[in-house]
Structure formats: C-alpha cells, structure tokens
Amino acid sequence: MLGKILLTSLAVFGAANAQRSLCSATTNVVQSQADLDALSTCTTLSGSLVFGPDLVQAQIDGIRTIRGDLIIANALLLQSLTAPQLASIEGKWNMTSLTVLNSLTFSSLRSVGEIYWQTLPALSSLNLPAVVTQADRVTITDTILESLEGINLVTVQRFNINNNRYLKEVRVQLANVTDGLAIEFNSPKVAASFPNLTWANNATFRSCGDVQLPLLATVNGSIGFFENAFTSLQAPRLTAVGTGTEGGDVTFANNNNLGNVSMPQLATIFGTLQFVNNSKVDDITGFPKLSVVHGSIDISGEFEQAEFPAIRDVRGGFNLQTAAKFDCSEFDKIESGVVKGKYVCSGAVVNPGTEGTNPTTNGNGSGGKKNSAGRFTVSTSLVAMTVLAMLTAFL
C-alpha cells in the first residue's frame, strides 16, 4: 500500500519535473497538436518553439511568452495557426515556405524580437487584433498579404517589405528607422505612408504607387526612389541627407510617371543628387534651399528647366545633360568656385548620360532664353514638341 502511494507521488513528481523541463528546454520541437498541448501549462517557454512538418491546424495554448524563437519552416500542410494568449516572442518569429497557411490569428501578440516571413503564398490577411507595436526587425517577402494591418511599430531597426504582389498599403506610425527602410517590388499600386517618420538611416522605395513622408527631417544614409509609378514626391521637412563620414545620396531613377519633386527644406546632401531616366520630369526646381553637396549633382533626362538658387558648394562634379534645348549660361558662371569636380552642362543631347559620360549634342546645345541674372537658374524656352521634332529631324 505504502509502496503504491509512494510510486504514484513519484510519478506525479516526475511529471511535474518533466513539465518544468519542457518549459525550460532550449528547444521544443512539436510534431502534433498533442505535443503543443503538452506545453500549454508553460506560461513562459524559456527556449525556442519549432514546428515539425506534419501539423495542419495548430493552436498554441497557454503560452504567453516565448523567450526564444518561434520557427515554422517548411510546414507544408499547415493551414491555420492560432495563439490566443501569446503576447511576446522575444526572439525571431520565422515563418518560411508555408504554402497553404491561410489563417493566422494571434489575439494577444504585441511584441516580437524579429518578424521574418518568407514565401507565404496563401496568406492574404493577418489577424493580430492586439497589434504588434514592438519589433526590432521586420522582413516580409513573397506573400499575398493585402495589408499589414496588425503591425504598427513606432521604432524599428530594419523594415523591409518586398515582393508582396497584392500589398496595396503600408502604413505604419514609425518614428525612427535606425538601420534601413525598404519598400520594393510589391503591388505597383502600393501606397507607402509613414506619417510619423522623422528620421531613417537608409530608405529605398521601388515600384511604389505613392510615398508619403510628411515629417521626414533627416536621412542618415541614402534615400532612393526607383521605378515608382507616382507622379509627384514631396519631402516637405527633409533638411539633410547623409553624414560627413559615410556620405548619403538622393537618387531618382527610372520613375516613368514622375513629374514633380519637391524638397523645399533640403540644404545639405553628403553624397550625390542624381536624377536619371525620369522621362516626365520637366523641371528640376524643387530644391530651393540646397546649398552644399559633398558629392556631385548629376542630372540627366529630358527636362527643360533646372535651378539650384541657393547652391554654394558642390565638392564633386556637376553633370547636366538633357535632350531639351537648354541654356547653360547661369550654370557656367558657377563652374569655377562652386563646383570642385568636373563640370558638364549640355542641352540638346542625343542620348543624355550620367556623370562620366560625354554628351553628344545635335549642335543646338546652347542658346535659348536668358534668365534673370544672379540666380543659379537656367531654363529654356523650347517646348517638348519642338525638341521632339528636332530630334526626329536629326535622326
């Protein structure tokens, strides 16, 4: 009798011990819902939770905190995942190659060390009603997500959202991005809106339908706009791009619909200002306060007007090549003194090129209407039709 009681209590003690060791294990690999249920008395998992390949409908019950990672990779059968109580994943939340996952409901989740989601071709929406407001790094790539509702961070080191073909909106209240911000190759309509962003290290916007940066004041690295569909871009508060030690460029390349760029407060660029292949840009006049450029001013295209009325120091070169007829006389005045590197200014260029290329003109490179003196202002009087006619005649 006594022996039996002793045995039973030993068994209970053993089970509790086993439970405690599960909760404190470095890694728990779960192959079934039963394995998950065995963890449900652990309010905190000290280590990582790793999903095996066979789960179909999974529910993470009981656990409030995962100190390690939550890794769900190549669970090709997993259709739905719920976690009613889980509030914090301190490590990485890695979901990779979950081909049929179509339902994700984490009702209490607010904080994640790192979100890394890759190849989730069946997941079109998130159910994160508590809203994830803390994450150090976010990478979301190759999903069919239509929105990121439920992820709304204030600060982040890295925020990289790419190749989500159906993503129509990215709107987060980020105030700072200490490392890199990149929105690339999502739906061409994607509206990227950062209403609270005041500074970012690097920022890259590629194939976006709209970009809103109303409060952005400083970019510590580079900011670039590539192949976007938007017609205008404003950064009304931006004052400086880059640092003296690392440089930092402002680039507009291959934005085929872009007509208007306005950075009215931008005074200093520690790298290069480049415009290339933005065929609808007629005027590069949105930089009224730009005074110091540590790299080059490198603008090429079909624009008819360009002005930098506040410029006083360009430490690199100056390259202006446009297919339009263009009066370079105002820029010629600052060739020595302001521009320390190589100076090129040429209108009626057959194939306008970036810095380092030699312009080939059709012989109508200079001339045109003079502007008011004393400003670093140049314009031409020709309209695009005439230029086109001229080029056609030349060809």
- The footprint of ligand NAG (CB under 6 A) covers 71, 73, 92, 94, 96, 116, 154-155, 173, 175-176, 178-180, 195-196, 199, 201-202, 218, 220-222, 232, 234, 253-254, 260, 262, 276-277, 362-364, 390, 394
Answer for the pair 50, 31: CB distance below 8 angstroms, yes or no.
Answer: no
Pairing of strands 377-379, 305-307: antiparallel
Q: What sign results for the dihedral spanned by CA atoms 336, 339, 342, 347?
A: negative
Q: Which is nearer to ligand NAG, 28 or 338 (CB)?
A: 28
Q: Which is nearer to ligand NAG, 94 or 186 (CB)?
A: 94
The DSSP line for 305-347 is EEE-TT--EESS-EEEEESS----HHHHTTTTTTB-S-EEEES
CB 36 → ligand NAG: shortest distance, Å? 18
Residues 6 or more apart from 162 whose CB is under 8 A from it?
140, 141, 142, 182, 183, 184, 185, 186
Report how far residue 273's alpha carbon sits from residue 338's, in angstroms, rounded to the nearest whole number: 15
Nearest Cα neighbor of 57 from 75, 38, 84, 39 is 75
CB 285 → ligand NAG: shortest distance, Å? 8
Q: Which is nearer to ligand NAG, 155 or 329 (CB)?
A: 155
CB 101 → ligand NAG: shortest distance, Å? 14
CB 170 → ligand NAG: shortest distance, Å? 15
337: left (phi over 0), alpha (psi -120 to 50) or beta: left
Q: Which is nearer to ligand NAG, 137 or 189 (CB)?
A: 137
Q: Which is nearer to ligand NAG, 185 or 338 (CB)?
A: 185
Query: Which residue has its beta carbon closest to ligand NAG?
Result: 363
* Residue 11 DSSP symbol: H
CB 107 → ligand NAG: shortest distance, Å? 22
Q: Which is nearer to ligand NAG, 71 or 320 (CB)?
A: 71
Q: Which is nearer to ligand NAG, 8 or 381 (CB)?
A: 381
CB 365 → ligand NAG: shortest distance, Å? 9
CB 248 → ligand NAG: shortest distance, Å? 8
Using the CB atoms, write b or e for 271-285: b if 16+ within 10 Å.
bbbbbbbbeebbebb
